[in-house]
């Protein structure tokens, strides 16, 4: 019940101001957000790498309102890639981007987002890594998939995300699996209406399994984005049945969630990538993490009350 309420609040400016100003917020945010600047996140990449983990880096931000902000988003990623290059960390870290932060919802947003993301994808390729396009709410996805297809003409390693809760996703998975894409499958983190998305959690899990099977049996590179132990073990079994070697798929989890399990899977020989978000515009990302697990909200409220 709480999840949808928190997701609605994640789009409210009033709530954004309240939550950001609350005492104790910073401490709870730090569990999920790896810092505010490139300097904060680089040591974390090294630390995760030393634990045998790979990383995908997300500069937090979305729902921007000006073209200048979209350029700033592009530049923040270019700065990050420059630092990874200097430090020789390119092989361990890929990038995740939200096209809304690159201007997708502004006027001529599709073209603007493509123009902004292209140099980021090119810079990533130059240091031997890749970019994955995150999936946002369902209204943005046709544009995201078209940008993905366009980028893949020059940078075939570019990845994208599909969301098990959407009715459309099995068809998207079939298309992407046939064309050899890198595809991250997740349950889905946005508040979506019943016309486009499954609302019942067990049914979302069943769809997730069907989609994993399509990806594992296909020609692409599946990236299993989940903390759900049942789905992870089903993913392992589907990979085994499809005859995939350990480097022909990977698991992904979010920074700050089930860290011991991340290390355990890596120690077993799996490629395990940690989605590591950083930056100052953390509100939307943080609220989705609260919505996924009501206990996080209780912890958050308690930390405010005890300040
Ligand atoms: P759940 O059933 O939600 O969780 C399983 C267990 O994991 C829970 O019981 C709990 O122990 C733990 N857990 C899960 N979430 C939390 C949390 N927030 N805090 C504490 N414990 C938790 N969604 C999108 O819509 N678009 C994206 O592009 C996207 N990218 C993602 C990238 C990665 C690498 C991952 C892991 C998730 C991404 N998501 C994205 C979020 C995803 O859609 C889910 O909302 C999220 O992963 C929770 O689902 P779950 O599969 O972990 O299963």
Higher pLDDT, 4 or 246: 246
Closest CA to 91 of 51, 122, 45, 59: 45
Ligand 1 center from residue 279 Cα (angstroms):
20
298 Cα–ligand 1 center, Å: 18
* pLDDT tier, 40 (very low <50, low <70, confident <90, very high otherwise): very high
The rounded distance, in Å, linking the Cα atoms of 286 and 283 is 5
Residue 113 host element (H or E): helix 109-126
Q: Which position has the higher pLDDT, 118 or 63?
A: 118
pLDDT of residue 304: 72
Here the tokens at position 84 are 């990874």
| pLDDT-based confidence at residue 1 (cuts at 50, 70, 90) | low
At 27 the pLDDT is 83
Atom of ligand 1 nearest to the CA of 161: 28
% of the chain residues with pLDDT over 70:
99
Q: What is the pLDDT of residues 197-206, one digit of tens each?
A: 999 999 999 9
> Which tokens belong to 126?
């130059």
Is the beta carbon of 228 within 6 A of some atom in ligand 1? Answer: yes
Ligand 1 binding pocket includes 252 (Cβ within 6 Å): yes
For the record, the structure tokens of 236 come out as 């392992």
CA of 91 to the centre of ligand 1 (A): 25
Compute the distance between CA of residue 279 and CA of residue 75 in angstroms, rounded to an integer.
13
Q: Among 141, 225, 235, name the best residue to mutate to test ligand 1's pocket (greatest count of ligand atoms within 8 A of Cβ).
A: 225
Tell me which residues are annotated as active site. Answer: 134, 184
Can you read off the two tokens belonging to residue 157?
């390693």
* pLDDT exceeds 90 at position 123: yes
Closest-CA residue, ligand 1 atom 1, reads 228
- Predicted complex: ipTM over 0.95: yes
Instruction: Assign 5 a pLDDT band (cuts: 50, 70, 90).
Output: confident
Task: Give the span between the Cα atoms of 7 and 190, in whole angstroms.
Answer: 7
The pLDDT of residue 244: 98
User: Higher model confidence: residue 59 or residue 307?
Assistant: 59
pLDDT tens digits for range 133-186: 999 999 999 999 999 999 999 999 999 999 999 999 999 999 999 999 999 999
Residue 121 clears pLDDT 90, i.e. is over it:
yes
> Is the predicted pLDDT of residue 192 greater than 90, yes or no?
yes
Q: How far is the CA of 59 from the centre of ligand 1 (A)?
A: 18
Q: How confident is the model at residue 132 (pLDDT cuts 50, 70, 90)?
A: very high
Does pLDDT of 92 surpass 70? yes
Residue 125: name the closest of 97, 155, 85 by CA.
Answer: 155
The arithmetic mean of pLDDT across residues 262-279, rounded, is: 97
Nearest atom in ligand 1 to the alpha carbon of residue 273 is 34
Q: 89-102: b or e for each residue (b if 16 or more CB lie within 10 Å)? A: bbebbbbbbbbbbb
* Residue 5: partners with Cβ closer than 8 Å, 6 or more residues away: none
Pocket of ligand 1 contains residue 135 by CB under 6 Å: yes
Given the CA of residue 223, which atom of ligand 1 is nearest to it?
34
pTM comes to 0.96
Q: Is any atom of ligand 1 closer than 6 Å to the C-beta of 189?
A: yes
Question: How distant, in Å, are the alpha carbons of 96, 103, 112, 121, 181 from that of 68?
Answer: 20, 9, 11, 19, 31
Q: Which CATH number fits domain 34-281: 3.40.50.80, 1.10.3720.10, 3.30.565.10, 3.20.20.220?
A: 3.20.20.220
Q: Which atom of ligand 1 is nearest to the CA of 208?
A: 51
Instruction: Quick: pLDDT tens for 242-259.
Output: 999 999 999 999 999 999
Q: Is 296 in the pocket of ligand 1 (CB under 6 A)?
A: yes
Report the mean per-residue pLDDT for the chain: 94
300 C-beta closer than 6 A to ligand 1: no
Flag whether pLDDT at 307 surpasses 90: no
Query: Phi/psi of residue 244, each to 5°?
Result: -80, 140
């Amino acid at each position: 019940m709480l999840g949808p309420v928190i997701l609605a609040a994640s789009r409210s400016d009033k709530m954004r101001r309240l939550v950001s100003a609350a005492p104790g917020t910073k401490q709870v945010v730090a569990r999920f957000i790896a810092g505010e600047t490139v300097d904060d996140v680089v040591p974390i990449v090294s630390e995760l790498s030393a634990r045998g983990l790979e990383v995908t880096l997300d500069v937090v931000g979305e729902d921007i309102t000006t073209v200048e902000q979209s350029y700033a988003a592009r530049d923040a990623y270019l700065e990050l890639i420059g630092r990874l290059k200097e430090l020789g960390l390119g092989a361990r870290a890929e990038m995740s981007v939200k096209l809304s932060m690159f201007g997708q919802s502004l006027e001529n947003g599709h073209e603007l987002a493509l123009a902004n993301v292209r140099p980021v994808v090119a810079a990533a390729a130059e240091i031997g890594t890749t970019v994955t396009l995150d999936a946002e709410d369902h209204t943005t996805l046709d544009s995201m998939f078209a940008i993905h297809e366009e980028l893949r003409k020059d940078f075939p390693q570019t990845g994208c995300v599909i969301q098990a809760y959407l009715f459309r996703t099995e068809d998207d998975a079939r298309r992407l699996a046939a064309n050899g894409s890198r595809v991250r499958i997740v349950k889905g983190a946005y508040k979506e209406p019943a016309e486009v998305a499954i609302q019942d959690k067990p049914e979302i899990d069943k769809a997730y399994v069907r989609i994993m099977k399509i990806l594992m049996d296909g020609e692409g590179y599946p990236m299993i984005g989940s903390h759900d132990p049942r789905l992870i073990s089903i993913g392992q079994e589907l990979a085994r049945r499809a005859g995939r070697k350990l480097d022909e798929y990977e698991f992904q989890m979010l920074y700050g969630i089930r860290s011991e399990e991340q290390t355990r899977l890596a120690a077993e020989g799996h490629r395990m990538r940690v989605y590591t978000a950083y930056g100052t515009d953390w509100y939307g990302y943080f609220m989705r993490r609260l919505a996924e697990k009501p206990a996080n909200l209780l912890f958050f409220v308690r930390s405010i009350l005890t300040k």
